[in-house]
Amino acid sequence: MPIPDTTSAEAYLPYTKSRLLRPSRGKAWRDLKAWIHEPLRETDALALPGVSEPYLAWTFSGEVEFQEREGDGPWLTHRIKAGSFFLTTGGGPYECRWKPVSAEPFLAMMVFVELPLFRRAAEEVFGADASKVRLRDLSAFTDPDLNWMMQRVRDELMARRASPLRVQGLAQLIATHLVRNYAEVVKAPSSGSASLPGFKLKQVTDWIESHLDAAYDLDQLAALAGLSRFHFHRLFKQATGVSPAKYQTTARLDEARRRLRETKQSIVEIALEVGFASPSHFA
């Protein structure tokens, strides 16, 4: 099926090609949508859309080598096992693939926090700055407190009849936890889709341009922006039109050309000082 840039929680599951085991149904699940599902045991390049709501993917059984990428970017690899999380907010379509590294069944739960609840949590924690709050995108992280919350959500999904009070309490607890631990205030109000704030983009590009001789390190650049490698790569390319690696190469070439014009350094000296192993990169 065609992959949209963004879809809703209700429409997301079919794109995953997972086997639905337990859906959230009824009035109890007004502020939280959750599905226990069994992903494909192994897959190649599964294309998935972004989602409008804050989205948690929680693995509670199995272990897989998981890779993700945006567009034609590099495949980024993670080891996922019971207790691993992904946190995604907005953004565009991406690809992922995985293969098992254990004999256990691969089981997971999707949890979507409804936007009105997320906004209320942001208002409680950040007050007047709530409209500028955005969650960070994170891949393959662990969080013992969040893990406990997911176990309780799973209990309610498996119950004969979910308790509206308990589900609402868990929804509020999860939303507040996400805002307290994974949210930040950005300079521009959030439009509902992920973007790289201008001040963070400048922080990263300034670092690249002042460390031209440094080896390309996606982890370090992502850490400067406070994002996972995958989501940083996606948002940087979205903001600049090129990948971080391409931006670094272009910055090196621009500086090498400037030095060739304005200094008496040799080509070899310039190449080494701007991070190239030899002058053949810009000869």
Q: What is the mean pLDDT of the segment spanning 249-274?
A: 83
On whether residue 1 sits in a domain, the answer given is no
Domain count, the chain: 2
Q: What's the CATH code of the domain at 275?
A: 1.10.10.60
On whether residue 190 sits in a domain, the answer given is no
Q: What's the CATH code of the domain at 112?
A: 2.60.120.810
- 117-127 confidence digits (pLDDT tens): 999 999 999 99
Q: What is the mean pLDDT of the segment spanning 39-47?
A: 92
Both 176 and 231 in one domain: the answer is no
Which residue shows structure tokens 């109000």?
189
- What pLDDT, on a 0 to 100 scale, did the predictor assign at position 283? 52
Q: How confident is the model at residue 51 (pLDDT cuts 50, 70, 90)?
A: confident
On whether residue 191 sits in a domain, the answer given is no
Task: Indicate whether 38 pLDDT > 60.
Answer: yes
Both 16 and 88 in one domain: the answer is yes
- What pLDDT, on a 0 to 100 scale, did the predictor assign at position 263? 86
Write the DSSP string, the chain.
----SEE-HHHHHHHHTPEEEEE--SGGGSSEEEEEEE--SSEEEEEE-EEEEEEEEEEEE-EEEEEEESTT---EEEEEETT-EEEEEE---EEEEEEESSSS--EEEEEEE-HHHHHHHHHHHHGGGGGGEEEPPEEEE--HHHHHHHHHHHHHHHSSS--HHHHHHHHHHHHHHHHHHHEEE-SSPP-SS----HHHHHHHHHHHHH-TTSPP-HHHHHHHHTS-HHHHHHHHHHHHSS-HHHHHHHHHHHHHHHHHHH----HHHHHHHTT-SSGGGT-
Q: How confident is the model at residue 242 (pLDDT cuts 50, 70, 90)?
A: confident
Residue with the larger pLDDT of the pair 75 and 167: 167
Both 101 and 181 in one domain: the answer is yes
On whether residue 193 sits in a domain, the answer given is no
Both 146 and 262 in one domain: the answer is no
Which residue shows structure tokens 């960070």?
136
Q: Phi and psi (nearest 5°) for 274?
A: -100, 10
Q: Which of 120-124, 211-215, 238-242 has the lowest average pLDDT? A: 238-242
Most confident of 66-80, 159-173, 234-248, 253-267: 159-173
On whether residue 164 sits in a domain, the answer given is yes
Both 151 and 106 in one domain: the answer is yes
Both 175 and 114 in one domain: the answer is yes
Domain that holds residue 38: 6-185
Task: Indicate whether 192 pLDDT > 50.
Answer: no
- 75-86 confidence digits (pLDDT tens): 889 999 999 999
On whether residue 75 sits in a domain, the answer given is yes
On whether residue 204 sits in a domain, the answer given is yes
DSSP symbol at 213: T
Task: Indicate whether 262 pLDDT > 50.
Answer: yes
Contact between 112 and 34 (Cβ < 8 Å) = yes
- What pLDDT, on a 0 to 100 scale, did the predictor assign at position 135? 86
Q: What is the mean pLDDT of the chain?
A: 87
Q: How confident is the model at residue 63 (pLDDT cuts 50, 70, 90)?
A: very high
The whole-angstrom separation of Cα 48 and Cα 17 is 10
Q: What is the mean pLDDT of the segment spanning 105-131?
A: 94
